[in-house]
Amino acid sequence: MTEFILVESSAESNLVVDVDMTTDLGRGLVAGDPVFTASGCAAAGRELAAFNDLTAIGGVVTKSIQLAPRSGRPTPRMAETPSGMLNSIGLQGPGVDSFLSNDLRWLTEHEVRAAVSIAGSSVDEYTRLAQRLRGHPVALVEVNISCPNVEDRGQVFACDPNASAAVVEAVRRATPATVPVFAKLSPDVTDPVAIARAGVDAGADGLTLINTTLGLAIDHETLRPVLAGVTGGLSGPAIRPMAVRCVWQVHSALPEVPIMGVGGIRTGLDALEFILAGASAVQVGTVIFNDPSAPSRISRELCLALAARGIHRLRDAIGIAHRPPQLVVPEEPDPPGDDPVVEERAPRPIAFEDV
């Protein structure tokens, strides 16, 4: 959808911003906007409807759904950290049957694009979940592989290329051909590209980068870990450079594969950073706890940030930070006798029609 924004601030009053924010996520899914909510930070979207027009953003990525209801780990299971947050929710959720009849129905009735995150503890569980989603209005399936594999000593699927591939292949096979399957990867690996490649070779249409990274905080008074579950997933701005690095690495290796970038996005400029690194869309998570209107705000800010740089189509900005710096010879020649000075400058950020 081309977004027309009438800017009302004094500095840019009455400026109409015309940016095509559509983004292609594969298998015919073209989202009108690149900003989605991140899994685990917006439940199934309902509570955010008072603060955002959820039909105008890319969509809602639901909290990871499992086959059975689950109460999660003991409390405390959230803790604030410098520029971030730790969580050990432990996959709390209503189970797939309740999800389909309540949450997915609500999203559908309100015409919100539903990207459904699924989580299991065996390949069979993932397969059965994907099968349960068949025939329901699911725009995209996000396979959360950052879960322990009960059949392999509790190893996390996302840390092993073969285990990741087995899950992705099974979900892809069980999902209708019209629905893209994205694999959500963990940053807690030496080489995210190896896992990304295994997922794509197994049939993933796209990748979500990144899940939280494992952390631990200790209480100075109790002298014990803050979280009852001891360790937790670190999210928020603290992990943004790590997430941007993963997006960069994977986009370099697999430039044709759509990526949803996620990790510590608070503003439109943060989102722009992910797009420039190679993401086709972004997900907004932890910031929602502080500003529930963040998805819409970030979408607006990203649109303005693109326009301010002379970029009229989001898709023209994807991955452009990978272009080599242009060598520019200054127009004014140097005094005779001196060596010509060649300046290294960032690429010209406008006139993307000619790229």
- Residue 66 in contact with ligand RRO, rule: CB under 6 A: no
Among 23, 37, 52, 87, binds ligand RRO (CB under 6 A): 87
- Residue 90 in contact with ligand RRO, rule: CB under 6 A: yes
Evaluate whether 225 touches 167 at the Cβ level (below 8 Å): no
Q: Considering the complex, what minimum distance in angstroms separates the CB of residue 88 from ligand RRO?
A: 5
Rounded Cα distance, 33 and 215, in Å = 32
Residue at shortest CB range from ligand RRO: 233
In this chain, which stretch among 8-16, 89-97, 131-139, 294-302 interacts with ligand RRO, using CB under 6 A?
89-97
- Residue 91 in contact with ligand RRO, rule: CB under 6 A: yes
Evaluate whether 64 touches 118 at the Cβ level (below 8 Å): yes
Distant-in-sequence, close-in-space partners of 332: CB < 8 Å, separation ≥ 6: none
- Residue 120 in contact with ligand RRO, rule: CB under 6 A: no
Among 37, 52, 144, 283, binds ligand RRO (CB under 6 A): 144
91 versus 311: smaller Cβ distance to ligand RRO = 91
* Paired strand residues for 218: 225
Q: Considering the complex, what minimum distance in angstroms separates the CB of residue 274 from ligand RRO?
A: 18
Structure token digits, residue 121: 């503890």
- Residue 64 in contact with ligand RRO, rule: CB under 6 A: yes
Residue among 108, 117, 107 at smallest CA distance from 66: 117
Evaluate whether 278 touches 322 at the Cβ level (below 8 Å): yes
- Residue 211 in contact with ligand RRO, rule: CB under 6 A: yes
DSSP code, position 103:
I
Positions annotated as catalytic residues are 147
- Residue 119 in contact with ligand RRO, rule: CB under 6 A: yes
Q: Is 107 helix (H, G, I), strand (E, B) or coil?
A: helix
146 versus 299: smaller Cβ distance to ligand RRO = 146
Residue among 227, 209, 312 at smallest CA distance from 263: 209
Beta strands of 105-154 (E only): which ranges? 114-118, 140-144, 148-149
58 versus 233: smaller Cβ distance to ligand RRO = 233
AA letter at 148: P
What does the binding site for ligand RRO look like in residue numbers (CB under 6 A)? 40, 64, 87-91, 119, 144, 146, 211-212, 233
